[in-house]
A = this chain, B = another copy of it.
Amino acid sequence: MQSFKNVELIKKSNIYFNGNVTSRTFIDTDGSKKSLGIMMVGEYLFGTAEAEIMEIIEGDVEVRLKGENEWKTYKSGSSFSVPANSSFDIKVKTISDYCCSYIK
């Protein structure tokens, strides 16, 4: 999918880690909340409230979910899931473009 149609796009940006991670929230046609974001090269720890699916649209990252020892690599077109009320460490190797879908 190259675009999301008939969505409601929130005007104000979300800025994390001094602007090294930024995103825009939108409400998809089915009412679900998603965000499109960009991560600059670096290492970040993200907490989750809702469960989420992170799709790496373009980029190269390594991810370690809370409670796991292993780092897994995700590149352009691949996705990983994170449980609710959890966290993950992410090492961003190249500027990475992502789509995060929040799961109720």
Which A residues are closer than 8 A to B by beta carbons? 1-13, 15, 18-19, 22, 24, 26, 36, 38, 40, 57-58, 95, 97, 99
Docked Cα-Cα span, A3 to B24, in Å, equals 11
A4 contacts across to B, CB distance below 8 A:
8-9, 11
Partner of A12, one of B7, B11, B97: B97
Copies of this chain, tallied across the complex? 2
Residue contact A19 to B7, C-beta cutoff 8 Å: no
Known interface pairs A19-B40, A19-B95, A36-B24; A9-B10 also in contact (CB < 8 Å): no
Docked Cα-Cα span, A2 to B24, in Å, equals 12
**Extra A-B contacts (14), CB below 8 Å, given A4-B8, A15-B97:** A1-B11, A3-B10, A3-B11, A6-B7, A6-B8, A7-B7, A9-B26, A11-B57, A12-B58, A13-B57, A15-B95, A19-B38, A19-B95, A24-B24
